[in-house]
Chains A and B, each alone.
Chain A
């Protein structure tokens, strides 16, 4: 029997990035907030200090900071006619667990989406006609606009001290920035990072092709920075242990370096770690959440009542928790009815490797978001007439790391082991780099999430089942982008290049990106979305679902800027509207 605890005002499920944003915004407004986090407490000096964090085997390969599949995983198949099997090892994506969530081991590539993204269906149809949108592409508008989110993007960038060069401030185009970006109210809070040789060569080549290169907006600090909450971050050392690692130098934006020090001093905030929420409880009417059930580290079960429940457990757990709690109508790919689980999307990340004969690039001088970008083929920044696909992606030359085990760029025809492999490794380690695409993925009728009929988790709940494959839109975009990437690569005058496409079928084994999206999407009507424009559940008005689960499609950028802007936008609606007059914020 679960022990029943005293009720709280606001309960957060998960204390990663969006959990921290919500906790800060709501405690600041004077509300009592309790966060339940399944993982443990983590602190820079103790858990990822610079004296030991550079341990590639422990963190990258043994996944010390990642969630453990023995505890929670999902099953996977490419298409509905296949039988899904459990993912027994993390591969394609690497969600986190513990205080700070996945942003603890992120890169810091800190983008906004384009205004086009939020009105993608309307704008695509207006420019190219409805016929441009294939029947199986479940494309929809988000119910919120870029202009509405702009102040929240700004707030996010200021919390995190994002380093970058603006391209469009209040309509004024600025040299060196991204000319295609949505209008910004202010420049970035800190100047861009210094580029190393590789990205600089890419920038020159892109410039020679009349493209518009700009430095990647970065959550790795280009200089010391103190955010509006009074928390300071130190300049990045370009150590190259960002992605998949915690930053020991207080130089990468994360929960620990931006919000936590202030939050832990707020008397109206309580954090309980090693408490995994297993269910969101509803009252008999099914339209009101009464709280959650959770299990602590000793296996004891508790019932935690709450007035307001906000789920911030990362997209995959957000959707799974809604499904196992029986909240909302499950999506049925056969009929297109129901909403929970639909529009699961991912990211498309082919690359072109570039090998020089004589240019020493020193890849070990790197940082998670160190690189140059071109946005000329992202979103609707170019004419898609006759191309057979919509959207696009940014092309990047990143220098994130030269870590010895993981960094392996080898030319076509190199054997996989032996003396020849060694020679090629030594010859190319210092003189090679990669150009990659952050490709958008459009929703498809048969890419979705539901519950697995066979496999169960440690609590006896069905695992979530992911059905996902690249579709025509992605494959055509990939062909197009590889051509453009090769053009830039050739303009860098290398000895040789190597194209590395993804697909044709999505493979869940190799690491690609932790940019899972959708499944509990936002939108203008309850017919086509799980949550309304404020991330409030259509059926259960005291339940908000925050994270990339709300994205109706995935754009050609990393997600966290938009995840954060949406969280801050929802927090403002909760503060200024919901808590004054609890109930649905949008009438359907």
Chain B
């Protein structure tokens, strides 16, 4: 092997890289902006911009990922600095207006699938830093596809009405009575990290039910769990460190992340600084518990059927007592995800299985196998009901109809097994 050739190659790419930044025709940033761009890079990670702005197999940030909303399909924008099809021609002020008010450079209103109701909380300085970072990306030519919306939502003017009803622009206002760390956490959670976009239930207009903030919600046929202080279905029993570990590595001693959140961990939270993750944990731990509910009791015969299925199919990994194996197989006992208000994630994992998050610091990727081809709707309902009510767990029973319904909805998106 010719190591010298390799070194020369590395050296020359570094030089052209730097050359482009300083003098190239697309000289968006100046060398001295490095600190600003680096801050921007971290904020872009916190905002998980790459997730929505990258199509499967597409170039990062070049847009055109289809985003399913309850109202229709939206295609994300190209946010690389391409002058024609990306943000290349946008001024700092235009970019801030988009982030702050949800209005594009040409004055069109953006749909709130672009989470400007959260991004509005970001400070002007942070938004400028984000732009500075985005302008260091390789410009990619990629024309945004037209959204697939039914009338009247295809008229963007409709968004003016929506905004009037549900959207108040305004940067985050720190709470003087709270610690700097809490405020930092609140700023991220309420703002760039836009946690509520998934974890807060929505009304028929797709707007947050603010009275139920962070109490968990349905997203793409998964259930984004309750993040409030409820000790059964929320984070009440979790330590700050549990939250940090989960966001950093995709798993902790208690549980493992699957579904859309696995992507969030991979692209966003695993790349955030430990200090920011800690701040998020501090803020989340301060959320008051959601009001207690009283789940219905499961039928005895369903529980005994579920127990037998559990012994045969699940106990090898999750163990007889449901406590799993630390950091390897998630515990079902005491699990908030298992006892969640809606059983979507549990049932869906049993039906389809899933691949967890994994990142450089946590290479483990122990997937959950699928059982949908093997267990009937009744059997899935029984075992789901069992794990939601065994070992001290309590949650509403799952019916065969719930399972059938979810099976059909997931198959409609993913195809049959």
Contact = CB atoms under 8 A, between A and B. Distances in A.
Tell whether A pairs with B.
yes
Interface of A: 9-10, 31, 43-46, 49-52, 224, 226, 229-235, 237, 239, 248-250, 261-262, 265, 307-308, 579-580, 582
Interface centre among B358, B366, B370 (most CB of A within 10 A): B366
A261 to B, nearest CB: 4
B123 to A, nearest CB: 34
Interface of B: 1-3, 6, 313, 316-317, 325-329, 353, 355, 358-371, 374
Contact of A51 (B329, B364, B365, B371): B371
Contacts, number: 76
A311 B359 CA distance: 30
A235 B363 contact: no
Nearest to B367: A45
Contact of B328 (A43, A232, A308): A232
B365 A234 contact: no
Contact of A261 (B1, B316, B358, B369): B358
Contacts of B362: 230
Contact of B313 (A9, A43, A51): A51
Contact of B3 (A45, A49, A226, A579): A579
B1 A579 contact: yes
Contacts of A580: 3
Nearest to A53: B369
Nearest to A43: B367
A12 to B, nearest CB: 14
Nearest to A48: B369
A249 B370 contact: no
Interface centre among B2, B329, B369 (most CB of A within 10 A): B369
B317 A234 contact: yes
Most chain B Cβ neighbours within 10 Å, of A44, A51, A237, A308: A51
B120 to A, nearest CB: 36
B325 A234 contact: yes
Contacts of A50: 313, 316-317, 369
A230 B250 CA distance: 14
B366 A250 contact: yes
Contacts of A31: 1
Contacts of B1: 9-10, 31, 307-308, 579, 582
Contacts of A237: 316
25 contacts: A9-B6, A10-B1, A45-B355, A45-B367, A49-B353, A49-B370, A51-B374, A231-B363, A232-B327, A232-B366, A233-B328, A234-B325, A234-B366, A237-B316, A239-B316, A248-B369, A250-B328, A262-B363, A265-B358, A265-B359, A265-B363, A307-B1, A308-B1, A579-B3, A582-B1
A50 B313 CA distance: 8
Contacts of A45: 353, 355, 366-370
| Max count, chain A CB within 10 A of own CB: residue among B1, B316, B329, B366 | B1
Query: Could you tell me the dominant secondary structure of chain A's interface residues?
Result: loop
Nearest to A306: B1
The 5 closest A-B pairs by CB, nearest first: A45-B367, A49-B369, A261-B363, A307-B1, A262-B363
Nearest to A308: B1
A307 B371 CA distance: 46
Nearest to A44: B367
B370 to A, nearest CB: 7
B403 to A, nearest CB: 17
A46 B361 CA distance: 24
A34 to B, nearest CB: 13
B328 A234 contact: yes
A10 B355 CA distance: 30
Contacts of A49: 353, 369-370
A454 B313 CA distance: 51
Contacts of B327: 224, 226, 232
Nearest to A229: B363
Given A233-B328, A579-B1, 11 more contacts: A9-B6, A45-B369, A45-B370, A224-B325, A226-B327, A234-B325, A234-B329, A248-B316, A248-B369, A250-B328, A265-B358
A235 B364 contact: no
B106 to A, nearest CB: 38
Contacts of A10: 1
A43 B6 CA distance: 33
A111 B130 CA distance: 56
A371 B1 CA distance: 46
Contacts of B2: 307
A44 B370 CA distance: 11
A308 to B, nearest CB: 6
A31 B360 CA distance: 18
A224 B41 CA distance: 37
Nearest to B354: A45
Nearest to B326: A224
Contacts of B367: 43-46
Most buried by A among B3, B327, B368: B3
Nearest to A32: B6
Given A10-B1, A234-B329, A307-B2, A44 B366 contact: yes
Contacts of B360: 265
A50 B328 CA distance: 15
A50 to B, nearest CB: 6
A224 B324 CA distance: 11
A261 B6 CA distance: 26
A234 B327 CA distance: 10
Contact of B316 (A9, A43, A226, A249): A249
A6 B90 CA distance: 39
Given A45-B355, A261-B364, A307-B1, A224 B317 contact: no
A9 B364 CA distance: 28
Contacts of B355: 45
Contacts of A233: 328
A239 B317 CA distance: 12
Contacts of A261: 358, 363-365
